[in-house]
Structure 1
Amino acid sequence: MTTLTATPQVVTPIPSLSSSPTPSPDPSRLPTPNGIRPTVNRQSPSPSPTPTAGTASPLALPKTDQYYIRGSLPNTILAVSVISAILGAIAATGLTSAAQPLSQYIAGSWARPQLGIYIAAVAIFHLLEFFTTAGWNPQKLSIDAFLLNNGKQYHYAHALGLTEYFLVSIFHPQRFGSRLAATPWLILGKQHPTQKLRMAQLTAGESVTIIMVGSQIIRSLAMIQAAQSFSHIVKNKKHDDHTLVTHGIYSWSRHPAYTGFFYWAVATQLLLGNVFSTIGFIVVLSKFFSNRIVDEEVWLVKFFGDDYVRYRTRVGTKLPFYFSA
């Protein structure tokens, strides 16, 4: 009789896309390629392994023995997302240029510059949500970081805004050529009697565009400065890497990401010339952020105690209709 000896199976470690300071999940619960679960020594923790070809640094993609990195481009999650966006923009620009005669025929009078700026602003907003997470908060990086599944109400709101824009374009296009649209809101320079200076004026659309871009910068900067302490979801549990951020833009507003989004969203509707949608955005977003800030600060006080209470007393939200301020 021949005795068969089982050949020991080697379990291949699964590379991680991030290096989180929080405890790793139980290895016995992780799937493995051959179905065998590794045994866990619960008596004494094993020392931290030295990074190998199968592991990844906090901001780098996992390495592999199947190819060699040339080194001319950073092998990071942020670099991949930026390159993808650039290539997508180049492709979209080329296709748009090729289809320009057709688009002019189909678009007609409603294809105004502000509509193009609005569409670009929305796309850039979602890209920057992913970029800032990939670059400064990779532990929370996932497909959800694009915020494309940001709730039905978010998509309904933008759909209603576009609906109002198109209805006005069809039934009352004179609004876009009205005196209000051509009246300068900001005067950057004045004619000096002794100097030949040209008066620099901005139209309403240009002013709103500046507000929209500035608001986007505020939100993205807030996510960058908060880094791993930022989350798209209100947390009811404090992690080891969650710290109280009070410097930079957080010394101006204690919720700059909310403040930036509020002004950005309202500016998108002003840019389209919407009246009802602008009012709706202001009312709904004011109530939403009022409730969200109240709920979030309950946990922040539990996490940071008197430090957050003093910070909240010293720094406001800069939201114009914060009902609980």
Structure 2
Amino acid sequence: MAASRDSQTSLICFCLGSGVCLLPLFAYLSFLIESLWNDHYIYLIGSYVIACNAIIAGVYIQNKDTYNNGVRAGFLGICFGTGLLISLSDTSWVHFGWYITALAFFHWSEYYTTAVTNPKALSLESYLLDHSREYKLAALASWTEFTIEWFIFPSLKQIRYVSLIGLLLVIGGEFLRKLSMVTANTNFNHYVQHTKQAGHSLVTHGVYKFFRHPSYVGWFYWSIGTQLVLCNPICLAGYTAVSWRFFKERIFEEEI
């Protein structure tokens, strides 16, 4: 599985964006930066974001597709790094930081894994950032519930053992999904295929010995885990019901 130009661009830009989490480290190396970090950390992060996008534009602007790839990977990297900063902060939003980190990594790794294992099926849509209107509404609902409950019942968002269980589900689900993508290799596609492609075969080895649809199992438990991380009781019930129905219908269509 040789690295393609698309995968290299995505990885480089994701790492560049993720570098935002290193700003506190730089603060210890310079009194000036430390002062800026303590007093104007939002502006410092904003400056980093602008610089990151400027670098991506300067390097990749000549190729529209490569630039669009880099912008998305850089954006997800910034979200990933910011999530890490929140996760390590001394605030009541720590678990939201876990969530942002997991969400950003999921979307970036969907593209990167596809780029490495099945480049013929690769497109900007492989980031799944524009998956569906329902997916966006579900994400917005989880953010809204977390924020409202954080204001009204802040202690609800500090149930550490629940968030830890959710984190384990997120990590396990992510690992299972990516393992299935790597195992299926060129037989994996983000979209249901209605005609048999040349060279396509039914995968029954590896993780597919134990799961009929491991990528769906992984994504199902990953989605539930994110709501446990956030301690969102309403969205937890909603995500479970809606995800179950979505994958049940998708599997029925796919197996036909």
Counterpart of 1:129 in structure 2 is: 110
Counterpart of 2:94 in structure 1 is: 113
TM-fit CA distance, 1:92? 5.2
Counterpart of 1:225 in structure 2 is: 183
**1:78 matched to 2:36:** no
Work out the CA distance in 2 between the residues paired with 1:59 and 1:246. 24
In the superposition, relative to structure 1, how do residues 169 and 147 fare at CA in structure 2: closer, same or farther (>3 Å)? same
- Alignment partner for residue 149 of structure 2, among 153, 164, 168? 168
In the superposition, relative to structure 1, how do residues 218 and 100 fare at CA in structure 2: closer, same or farther (>3 Å)? farther
TM-fit CA distance, 1:175? 1.9
Work out the CA distance in 1 between the residues paired with 2:233 and 2:95. 15
State percent identity of aligned pairs.
32
Work out the CA distance in 1 between the residues paired with 2:96 and 2:234. 17
In the superposition, relative to structure 1, how do residues 151 and 211 fare at CA in structure 2: closer, same or farther (>3 Å)? same
Work out the CA distance in 2 between the residues paired with 1:60 and 1:176. 41
Work out the CA distance in 2 between the residues paired with 1:174 and 1:103. 27
Which sections of structure 2, spanning at least 5 residues, go unmatched? Answer: 28-35, 43-85
Counterpart of 1:8 in structure 2 is: none
TM-fit CA distance, 1:131? 0.8
Work out the CA distance in 2 between the residues paired with 1:278 and 1:109. 26
Counterpart of 1:236 in structure 2 is: 194
- Alignment partner for residue 143 of structure 1, among 102, 117, 124? 124
The answer to whether the 8 A contact 1:59-1:77 is kept is: no
- Alignment partner for residue 19 of structure 2, among 90, 95, 110? 90
TM-fit CA distance, 1:204? 2.7
Which sections of structure 1, spanning at least 5 residues, go unmatched? Answer: 1-57, 62-75, 183-202, 299-325
> For 2:168, what is the secondary structure of its paired residue?
helix
TM-fit CA distance, 1:103? 6.3
Map 1:1-325; keep pairs closer than 5 Å: 59=2, 76-91=5-20, 93-94=22-23, 99=37, 101-102=39-40, 111-177=92-158, 181=159, 203-298=161-256
In the superposition, relative to structure 1, how do residues 144 and 95 fare at CA in structure 2: closer, same or farther (>3 Å)? farther
Work out the CA distance in 2 between the residues paired with 1:89 and 1:260. 25
Counterpart of 2:76 in structure 1 is: none
TM-fit CA distance, 1:147? 0.6
The answer to whether the 8 A contact 1:59-1:138 is kept is: no
Work out the CA distance in 1 between the residues paired with 2:217 and 2:39. 40
Higher alpha-carbon deviation: 138-147 or 88-97: 88-97
In the superposition, relative to structure 1, how do residues 141 and 280 fare at CA in structure 2: closer, same or farther (>3 Å)? same
In the superposition, relative to structure 1, how do residues 169 and 128 fare at CA in structure 2: closer, same or farther (>3 Å)? same
Which letter does structure 2 place at the counterpart of 1:256? P
Counterpart of 2:61 in structure 1 is: none
Counterpart of 2:75 in structure 1 is: none
TM-fit CA distance, 1:141? 1.1
TM-fit CA distance, 1:260? 0.4
Deviations 1:132-155 (A, max 9, x none): 111000001111110111001101
In the superposition, relative to structure 1, how do residues 287 and 101 fare at CA in structure 2: closer, same or farther (>3 Å)? farther
Q: Compute the RMSD of aligned alpha carbons.
A: 2.5
Structure 2 length normalisation: TM-score? Answer: 0.72
Work out the CA distance in 2 between the residues paired with 1:113 and 1:208. 14
TM-fit CA distance, 1:91? 3.6
Higher alpha-carbon deviation: 240-249 or 107-116: 107-116
Work out the CA distance in 2 between the residues paired with 1:255 and 1:84. 31
Work out the CA distance in 2 between the residues paired with 1:272 and 1:219. 21
Higher relative CO (Cα under 8 Å, sequence separation at least 6) belongs to 2
Deviations 1:147-187 (A, max 9, x none): 1110011011011011111101111112234xxx25xxxxx
* Higher gyration radius (CA): 1
